[in-house]
Structure 1
Amino acid sequence: MKEWFERLSLRGKLFFLVGFVGLSMVSSVVIAHLIIQRVQIGGSMYTGIELKMGYVDNLARTRLNLSHLNSMLKDQILEYDPEALNGLKSTSKRFDEAIAEMGENIVNSGGKEVYCASCHALDRASAVVASYDELAASWPKMAEIINKNILPSLVKGDKATALAAFDGEFFERYSSLMASTKAAVDELRRGQELTKEKAMSEVKRFGLVFIIGGILSLMSVGLFAFVIVQVLVRSINNIVSELDESADRISEEARTTASTSQMVAEMAAEMAESLEKTSASLEEITAMVQQNDSNAATADSGMKQNEAIGARANVNVAAMQASMQNIKKDSDAIASIIREIEAIAFQTNLLALNAAVEAARAGVQGAGFAVVADEVRNLAQRTAQSARNSSDLIERAIGNVNDGLQKVNEVVVESMDVVAGSRKVAVLVAEISTASREQTLGVLQIHKAMIEMDTVTQQMAANAEELAATSEAVTSQAMMLRDNIGHLTRLVEGGGE
């Protein structure tokens, strides 16, 4: 409960206090209203007394009508007067109405018990109920005796019979009804007095309860208000203490901030000067980087030209290599032909030898043929010798062609290496050119950033000055806060300025 109450806001606590006071006032008003409602005119007590008085009046009228009826019957018996029978009938009618009116104040509870509804908080009036029961039961029989016994006898002039009927059961019921109604009247009057006494007792008791309740309510409200005020004062004092400490910290931090702002302003001025120098150096670096970029672009263009020349040389060397290959193929073909010529010369020489042998066998007839065969053999030998000489020359030519082809191949490989190296150099030069351009862009961006940093530094210096001014304003506000805390403390604790 304590934790819940402490969690309430100041507004909630005040509303809780006002609600408690209002609840106490409403409770007092409700109790007073209950007291007034019971004793005021029209209240439950007053209604009970009125009902009892009304029932007493009904019983009194019933007794009066019963007594009047008894007197009228006695007069008729003594001296019969037919004209007076109308009064007897009207009296009987009033008697019926009185009984019916009394019956409205008798309540049947479940059909088992009959009691008087006018008694309210008092004990049930047995005499009242008994008298009503006797009236309700006896009056019809008494009316029957009057209408069937007494009046017919009087009409016939038989007074003795009428008097006997009157003095008999009728008078007995009359006497019993008069006694029971008197007991009911006495009981109702006693109940009325008891009701009055009960009402006065309740008024005194409720008055005492109201006084005690009022005193307890005032004490509770006072105690509750005291507790709430103490809690509020303690809470406000804690807040004031914390605010005072916060004001001290704010003042100290404001002074520290002002000092720091001054240092930041000085550092910003120095940084701005350094940035100006750095910006000038960057401009020089930018010029050099741009010159390097231009040189790299020129070198890149030259390397591309060298690469084109090397490519054309490779094409020419390749064509020469193809021509050397063709020469080698032709030399190989000539060597093959020479070998065939040597073979033919060898075969011709063999044929010439065979022809000489055959000519020698032929003798004189074959002498001319032997001369021809000898010439053919000489020709074949010279042809073979020439073929061998040509073969040697062709072999040397083929060897030279092979050497030339090998050199051409080496030249092709070296040319390709030169072209590849030129391409690598071109790539490196291109990369250097690209790097130079990127470096130029980077330097330009750095230069731009330095300009922005210079602007930011100047803005930071201006902000530092504004922060110093703000710190002074915060210090002034902290002093005002301390003054307000003092006013709040005096408001809570009391005391003069």
Structure 2
Amino acid sequence: MRRPIAPRMKQWTIGKRVVVMATFLCVVSMLVTLGSVVGMRLIENRGRAVSQKSLPGVIETSTMNYLPMINMVRLYRLLDSTNAADRAAIEEATLEDTKKFRAADKVYAATLSTPEEKAEYDKLGRIHEHYLELRQKYLSLVETDREQARRVLTIDMVGALTEFSNQTLAIVARNAREGEANGNALVTAVRRTSVTIIVVGVLGILLGAAMAVFTIRTTNKALGNVASALNEAANQVGGASDQVASASQSLAEGASAQAASLEETSASLEEIDGQTRRNAENAGNARTLSDDTRQSTEQGTQQMHEMVAAMADIKTSSDNIAKIIKTIDEIAFQTNILALNAAVEAARAGDAGAGFAVVADEVRGLAQRAAVAARETAEKIDDSIAKSARGSELSTRVAERLTEIADKASKMNQLVTEIATSSNEQAQGLAQVGKAVTQMDKVTQANAGSAEETASAAAEMKAQSATMLENVDALLRLVGAKKKDGAAALSATDGESAPAPKSAPLTFSRNRRSARAARPAEFVN
């Protein structure tokens, strides 16, 4: 019958007990290492998603958003410039902006992976192509027709740029959401890995301590535990301090570069804000002129309708005069017939009717002249009636055209009003963006200071870890001396106290608190 394990372990040699304990610790270390590797791999994947996809998406699309705005500012300057050297400089700067845009576009295109992202990117490309076509049209008109070029710039290109900006902001928002999700997942993975390592490590330490207590009762248990704990802590602190120092240095350099970029961006946004405010003022003036034009057109239309009514009255009067002339012509005809009859009767009367015949001839002459005058008057009246009808028709057409012009002027007034409203909203949005950039600049400056203080704290941690390693070496040498002296030496030193380890003052916690206090209140929590 086999004996229990506990009595048999009492018969093991110290070397066998140490081997068993070391084997157990190796197994626990392998489990901890395996859990750490799995957790770090997950953290690496999440970090790669943030650094290689989400952050480049936000940065490059933001670059693609503000470059066309700066290009619009230069195009405005090109419209008002008369110096050939200034024009050449503006065109060269425009080409340089185009190169930067294509570089940012190339970097962002490399991060696309899903059909939704590719669809958004294709839509953005179509909007940008439309903007480039309008810009080419503007450049071709700026030398020949400045007014038309100004309309293309302030209406068509501003609309295309607004649509492009909205699309890029949507892409930036999506990348920000993805970055936030990956960041949350990264934090979760770090916490889960930390908890796993802590749990497995604690369990390993507890079981190892139990085995050490059970297998090596005669050794100085407290000294061994302190030596093991200090060795592990020193190694971890040394490695962590190197990583923290490297990361803090990189963070400080990146924060400095980002602060410089934010200052340039802030200056550019202030310039764009000024241009947008001037555009809003010009749009308001255009709206006022459009209102005046619409009112003048409506008054002209009303007067044209009155003229059409007057032409209709003239035509009616001409018709009435024509009827009167016709009546006069009929009277002249009847008078002529009566004169002929009188002449015939005078001829029959002989000498007695000679005087009457003369009167009849005169009456007939007057009747004939009245008939001729009536025909000529009728012809002129007919011509006047035809011209009046033609004038009435033309007046009606002109009135219709003026009505159409009034409608179009009203529509143009609505469009100019919408442009003025959009310009005001854009000016307000740019002002908000400027405030946000200023706040980001403050946060970046605070981050740079915190990174420098963290690097200093990491250097202090490195020095403290070196001190801890020296203490661990002293303790290990002490343990080795006990092993060489044998069991008697071990028992003789059980009651002796080990020299107190050196300690270094921990000053970096205060630096961290000061760095935290230097940050803006809304970014502390």
Shorter-chain TM-score tier? 0.3 to 0.5
Q: Which has the larger radius of gyration?
A: 1
TM-score, L = length of structure 1? 0.42
TM-score by length of 2: 0.40
